[in-house]
Amino acid sequence: IAEDSTKLADLKDVKGQETAKRALEIAAAGGHNMLMIGPPGAGKSMLASRLPGLLPPLDAREALEISMIQSLAGELRDGAISRRRPFRAPHHSASMAALVGGGINARPGEVSLAHHGVLFLDELPEFNPQALDSLRQPMETGTVAIARANHRVVYPARFQLIGAMNPCRCGQANDPGFACKRQPNARCIAQYQARLSGPLLDRMDLHIEVAAVTAADLILPAPAEASSDVAARVAAARAVQVERYAALGLVGVATNSAAPPDVIEKVARPEGSGLALLREAAERMRLSARGYHRVLKLARTLADLDGADTIGRVHLAEALSYRAHMDRAAQAA
């Protein structure tokens, strides 16, 4: 296994965006999918590029799995196996075959090349709708099946999806004093975001708004916390998860995001006031069964980051806050 000497982008270079940085840490700790919504130039792509620096290195088994996929796709450089997690960022013009795999020889697609790593889709609504919906199965099962006339191939595809998008087509709908020339701002936002299907949005654990960076933010001194500091907390939280699911006999489950629904109900069951909050929020936000379980998974990760054995009301409140944007968008539509 070769060491990759390429330097990773560091969170220390990002000024402001504290909410987004917090969400990145949570996503890294539990392997959660995340959607960032903000105007052009807000730093969504820059933030996404910092995620690999927060993730723990691959173990030997994971590195071997990825090298085999890269070999099948013709992307294994010099036969070297790296311990760095994949970060794939296909262009929004990518076809369904490019994303999930296909062709005459059933070549692995981006979802498989991002196995045990990150799949970053910038300008998410600009992707082909059918291509985006084809991600739903691998996001749920961690595998992708490619059928051909005389054979069927199943590739691993346990990836973490990070999406980024503008709030509307021009990206300025949330700017103070801006008025869309075509229709009211709220309707413009709702129509643009409606390009993403409900089932796909339901699979995104964190929905965050990334505000535009101001001159005041840029004048601030560089942040004191580097990626290595956050990565240490992420590694500690992941170690707890690995131990938890290994004790339950779950092979191949290393993060809260990958835990089956029946298991997450046991290990992330809130008590007392937390349970009342969850019940009220589930009714008010009209959470689907999948949405309910994803809130529990997120709350379990927040508790793991805090070193807590039980899910507290504060963990549930923060987990639910990351779905509030999705709830507002649904109401606007």
Do 211 and 232 reside in the same domain of the chain? no
Please give the Cα distance from 280 to 224 (Å, whole number). 39
| Residue 258: predicted pLDDT | 95
Q: Could you tell me whether strands 101-102 and 107-108 are parallel, antiparallel, or unpaired per DSSP bridges?
A: antiparallel
| pLDDT tens sequence for the chain (333 residues) | 656 667 888 898 888 888 999 999 999 999 999 999 999 988 999 999 999 999 999 999 999 999 999 999 988 877 778 899 999 999 999 999 999 998 888 899 999 999 999 999 999 999 999 999 999 999 999 999 998 777 889 999 999 999 999 988 887 767 666 777 677 677 878 888 889 999 999 999 999 999 888 777 778 777 778 999 999 999 999 999 999 999 999 988 999 999 999 999 999 998 888 888 998 988 888 888 999 999 999 999 999 999 999 999 999 999 999 987 665 554 444
The pLDDT of residue 325 is 67
Instruction: Select from 318, 299, 319 the least CA-distant residue to 310.
Output: 299
Q: Is 250 in contact with 261 (CB distance < 8 Å)? A: no
150 and 241 housed in the same domain: no
Single pTM value for the model: 0.92
Cβ proximity of 17 and 45 under 8 Å: no
Contacts of 215 (CB under 8 A, 6+ apart): none
**Which residues does residue 220 pair with via DSSP β-bridges, in sequence order?**
none
Residue ending a domain, among 195, 219, 243, is: 219
Same-domain check for residues 208 and 314: no
The answer to the question of residue 3 being in a domain is: no
Whether 79 and 203 share a structural domain: yes
The answer to whether residues 333 and 190 touch, using CB atoms and an 8 Å cutoff, is: yes
Q: Is residue 2 part of a domain?
A: no
For residues 126 and 234, state if they share a domain.
no
Same domain for 209 and 256, yes or no, is no
Task: Report how far apart the first and last C-alpha atoms of the chain are (Å, whole number).
Answer: 50
The answer on 198 and 85 residing in a single domain is yes
Tell me which residue range forms the domain holding 123.
11-219
Domain boundary, last residue among 165, 195, 219: 219
SS3 content of the chain, % helix, strand, coil (to 5): 50, 10, 40
Pair 55, 196 in one domain:
yes
- One domain, residues 119 and 248: no
Neighbours of 191 (CB within 10 A): 15
Which residues make Cβ contacts (< 8 Å) with residue 310, sequence separation at least 6?
Answer: 270, 271, 303
With respect to residue 6, please indicate whether it lies within any of the assigned structural domains.
Answer: no
**Position 326 in a domain:** yes
Model pLDDT, residue 332: 46
pLDDT for res 192:
87
Co-location of 305 and 203 in the same domain: no
My answer on whether 32 and 151 are in the same domain is yes
Domain count, the chain: 2
Q: Is residue 309 assigned to a domain?
A: yes
| 3-state DSSP assignment of residue 18 | helix
What is the Cα–Cα distance from 57 to 198, expressed in whole angstroms? 33
Residue 53, domain member (yes or no): yes
Q: Identify the pLDDT of residue 4.
A: 65
Query: Residue 97 sits in a domain of what CATH number?
Result: 3.40.50.300
238 and 188 inside one domain: no
Residue 192 domain-assigned?
A: yes
Exposure string of 257-274, with b = 16+ CB inside 10 Å and e = fewer, is bbbeeebbeebbebeeeb
Residue 327 is assigned to a structural domain of this protein = yes
